[in-house]
Amino acid sequence: MKVSWDESVCIHAGKCVQGAPEVFKVEDGKFVIDTSASSEEKIADVVAECPSGALKIE
């Protein structure tokens, strides 16, 4: 599974980090997505909750 993030669309609501902190995190000031850290089902649920639509499953 590949998840993309569009920084220009993101409103930084934090739903992704709250919903799956093992997948969506900030490291060294950069947003990191580690899809190997959780199930595809959980990741898809968190992506669906993104209020701005900045996260997309490819």
Give per-residue pLDDT as tens, 6-56: 999 999 999 999 999 999 999 999 999 999 999 999 999 999 999 999 999
Tally of domains in the chain: 1
Instruction: Tell me the C-alpha distance between 42 and 23, whole Å.
Output: 10
Q: What was the pLDDT predicted at 4?
A: 98
CATH number at residue 23: 3.30.70.20
Domain interval for residue 30: 3-57
- Phi/psi for 39 (5° steps) reads -75, 155
Q: What was the pLDDT predicted at 23?
A: 98
- Beta bridge pairs of residue 26: 31
Selection from 30, 57, 55 nearest residue 41 by Cα: 57
Q: What was the pLDDT predicted at 42?
A: 98
Q: What was the pLDDT predicted at 22?
A: 98
What is the value of pTM for the model shown? 0.91
